[in-house]
Amino acid sequence: MNDQQDKSRQALRFARTISGSRVWLAAGRRVAILGDEFRIFGYIADSCLGQEAHWRRRTGEVRDALEQRMLQEQGARLEQALESAITEITAYLEACRAEGLEPNLRKLREFWSCGDLDLGSVGKGLAQSLHDLRARQRQRDLAEQIGRSLKLSDYPDTFPARRRARKLIAVLGPTNSGKTHDAFERLVTASSGVYLGPLRLLALEAFTRLNEEFGVSASLITGEERRIVEGSRVTASTIEMLDPGTEIDVAVIDEIQMLSDPDRGWAWTQAVVGANAREVWLVGALSAEPAIVALAARLGLPLEIRRKARKHPLSVGQPLANDAAGALRRARPGDAFIVFSRRDALNLRDDLLALGKSVACIYGALSPEVREREAHRFAGGDADILVATDAIGMGLNLPIQRVVFTAVQKYDGTPRDTLSPSLLQQIGGRAGRFGHQEEEGLVVGLTPAEHKVVTSLMKAPQPPLETMGFQITPGSAYLEQLADMSGDTRLEALLSLFQLHADCGDCFFRPHVPEEQLARAGQLDRMKKLSLHLKHVFSMAPMAAQNETIDGVWRGWAYAANQGKSIRLDFLPDSPRRASLEEAETTVRLLAAYRWFAYRLPELFVDLELADMHLAPWISVVDGHLRSRYRQGVGGGRKGVPSWYWPVRH
C-alpha cells in the first residue's frame, strides 16, 4: 500500500446517518477534486440498520452491537461504493469544467455530505445532472443565437414597403368628425388602394359604401369571404389580411388607436410598418397621435397630421329614471341601449318588446351579415330602438339620437371594472351622427347611479397611447427560422422561444404571442403528423375556445388533418327551421370558420362552395329569431331589478 492509499484509508470514517425515516451505516471521507475539497458521505442499499422509530427504542448496547455486525458484513462494500462514487463525482466535475458547465456546487456539496447520499445511485444522478446542464447550456446557446438572429429592431426591414418612398397621413379626431369620409374620398382618386379595418363588419360596410355611395369599384377580402369585383382598383379588407407584397397607391388603416390593443395590436403594427403604399392614411382617435409620431420617426417617414373636430353637437343629458325597470318606459325612437354581453342584450330586447317597442339587436356573437341587417332595420325605421353591446363602438354609421348606458362596467374575463374613458366616449360618440339627425346627440346613464359615472367619463381626457412597446407576432417566416436554429418543430416551443429570446433592443418593438394561440399550440403538438405550417394555421383560427361546441369542432378538424383526411361540411344540424337562436348563431360562426380554413387549406377543407351555399339560409334563421317577437333571452333577475341590469357598486 503506497502513502496516498494509506492516507485515503486513514481518512475513511464510518458513522450512522438517518435518511428516509431509516437508520443507515454510512461511509465517508474528505477528498480533493480539481483543487477543491469535498466531503462525500453516504450509504448503500444493504447497510440499513432499521426503521428510525424502532432504532430509537433500542438500548445503546444493542445499537452498538448491530452497528459492529453491519460494519463487518458491509464495511468493505461500503468502502468500495464510496470510492466508486468519488470516481464518478470526479469525472462529473471534470466534464463540467471541460464543457464550461456551471453546476450548483453549494447545493451539491451539501447533498454529498449530509448523509442522504445513496452511494449506489450516484452515477445515475450525476448522468442526469450532466444531461440537464448540457440541455440548459444548449438553451442558453440557442437563446444567444436567437437574440443575434431575430432582432426586432430589424422588423421593418422584412417588408418590401421599406424599399419605397412612403408618407404617413394621420387623420385624427372624435367620432362623427368625418375622418373615414375623408379617407374614402382619397380612395376615390387613388389609382389603387386598400381599406384595412378591425372587423369584418367594417370591411363589409366600407365595401358597400365605396361601391354604392362613392362610386368606386371595390372588392372585399376578409379571412372568411372573397367578393372579387372585376376591374376593381380598391379592396376593403380586415387588417389581418394585409398583403405587404403588392404595391398600391393609398392604404387606409382604420381605428389606429388599436395599436395599443393587448390582443390584436400586432396587426396594426404590421399594417403601419408593412402597408406597401405611397400614402398610408392612419384614421382614429386623437389619443393615438404620440404613438403615430413615434412610429413615423422610427421608420424615417414624413408625417402629416390632420386633426378633426366633431361635426355634430354631443352633450350629456339626464338619466332616464330612478330605477332600471321604470327607465324602459321612457325609451323613445332613436335610442341605443348599451349592454355588455349577449345574455344582457337578449334579455333587454325581450323586456322592450314586452312594452310594445320595436327593437333591433346587435352583439358580438352575430355574424357581420346579421349585424348589418339589424343595423339596416334600425336605420330604415323598421326598429325604433337599438339594443347593442360595445360591438357598435367601432364604425357602424347609425342614426342614433341618444345613447343610454345600462351599465358602466364590463366583464372581460376579469372582475367587472369601470369602462375606460376612451371606450365610453367612443360608444357615446355614436349619438347624433352627422347626416342622420338634426338634433344634438345625447349620452346618458340609465339611472342616476350610471349617469354620474357617464358624466364623469365623458369629461375625462383619453390617455395617450404609449410611444414604444409595439407588438410583433411571429409569422411563418420567423417560425421556420426558429425551427432551423433549434431543430424543434413543436409550435409551443417555437412560440415560447420567440417570446422569450427575440432581441427587443430598446423595446420599441416587443414580441407578442396571444395566450389562446399558445394554449392551442400545446394541443396541436400532440398531433405528431401535423406539419409546422398546419399547426400554425390551426393555432390562428378565429374559433372561440371558450365556446365548447366551437372548440370541439376545431379539435375534430385538427384530428382529421393529423390523419390526412379531407374535412367535410358534416357539422350542420339537420334543419335550420328547428334551430334555436344560439344553435343558428353557432352554425353561422362555424360556417365562417370553415370558409376561413378553406381559403388557406383548400386541399383539406374541400366543401367551400357548399359552405357558401349553406351560409345564407342559416343567416336568415338568426335574422328571423331577432325579428320575431318571441322571447330569446333567459330572463331572471329579481322583482324591480331586471336580469340585464348591473347596478353600480360604490
Predicted confidence (pLDDT) per residue in 539-548, tens digit:
999 998 889 9
Higher pLDDT, 116 or 650: 116
Rounded-to-integer distance, Cα 478 and Cα 485, Å = 11
Average pLDDT over residues 316-325: 93
Q: What is the percentage of the chain residues whose pLDDT exceeds 70? A: 95
C-alpha cell, 63 = 445499537
> What ranges do the domains of the chain cover?
3-147, 158-307, 314-463
| CA angle 620–626–627, rounded 5-degree value | 85
Average pLDDT over residues 8-14: 72
C-alpha cell, 58 = 433500542
The tens digit of pLDDT for each residue in 83-115 reads: 999 999 999 999 999 999 999 999 999 999 999
C-alpha cell, 337 = 341601449
Of the candidates 236, 205, 252, 626, the residue with the CA atom closest to the CA atom of residue 394: 205
Rounded-to-integer distance, Cα 359 and Cα 384, Å = 6
H or E stretch covering 484 = helix 476-486
Rounded-to-integer distance, Cα 145 and Cα 137, Å = 12
The distance in angstroms from the start CA to the end CA of the chain is: 87
The tens digit of pLDDT for each residue in 419-439 reads: 899 999 999 998 986 554 556
pTM of the model as a whole: 0.82
CATH number given to 158-307: 3.40.50.300
Fold matches, 158-307 and 314-463: yes
The tens digit of pLDDT for each residue in 177-198 reads: 889 999 999 999 999 999 999 9
**pLDDT (0 to 100) of residue 4:** 47
* DSSP conformational letter for 461: P
Rounded-to-integer distance, Cα 197 and Cα 252, Å = 8
The tens digit of pLDDT for each residue in 37-62 reads: 999 999 999 999 999 999 999 999 99
The tens digit of pLDDT for each residue in 343-356 reads: 999 999 999 999 99
Mean of all residue pLDDT scores within the chain: 92
**pLDDT surpasses 50 at 5:** no
Residues 6+ apart with CB under 8 A from 638: none
Task: Write the class of the CATH domain 314-463.
Answer: alpha beta
Residues 6+ apart with CB under 8 A from 194: 234, 235, 236, 237, 242, 243, 248, 250, 251, 252, 275, 277
Cell 395617450 found at: 464
The sign of the dihedral angle between the CA atoms of 157, 159, 164, 168 is: negative
**pLDDT surpasses 90 at 508:** yes
Of the candidates 404, 165, 137, 393, the residue with the CA atom closest to the CA atom of residue 284: 393
**pLDDT (0 to 100) of residue 1:** 44
**Is residue 637 very low, low, confident or very high in pLDDT (cuts 50, 70, 90)?**
low
Q: Please list the residues that pair with 81 across neighbouring strands.
A: none
Average pLDDT over residues 65-72: 95
- Least confident range from 43-52, 297-306, 322-331, 432-441: namely 432-441
Rounded-to-integer distance, Cα 508 and Cα 210, Å = 36
The tens digit of pLDDT for each residue in 483-498 reads: 999 999 999 999 999 9
**pLDDT (0 to 100) of residue 571:** 85
**Is residue 116 very low, low, confident or very high in pLDDT (cuts 50, 70, 90)?**
very high
**pLDDT surpasses 60 at 2:** no
Rounded-to-integer distance, Cα 539 and Cα 527, Å = 13
**pLDDT surpasses 70 at 451:** yes
Helices 476-486 & 532-539, crossing angle to 10 degrees? 140
List the alpha helices (DSSP H) in 502-607.
515-525, 532-539, 548-562, 581-600
The tens digit of pLDDT for each residue in 619-635 reads: 999 999 999 999 998 87
Average pLDDT over residues 395-409: 88
Contact in structure between 538 and 580 (CB atoms under 8 Å):
no
**Is residue 11 very low, low, confident or very high in pLDDT (cuts 50, 70, 90)?**
confident
**pLDDT (0 to 100) of residue 395:** 61
**pLDDT (0 to 100) of residue 8:** 46
**pLDDT surpasses 90 at 584:** yes
**pLDDT (0 to 100) of residue 391:** 76
- Least confident range from 7-16, 282-291, 296-305: namely 7-16
**Is residue 413 very low, low, confident or very high in pLDDT (cuts 50, 70, 90)?**
low
**Is residue 412 very low, low, confident or very high in pLDDT (cuts 50, 70, 90)?**
low
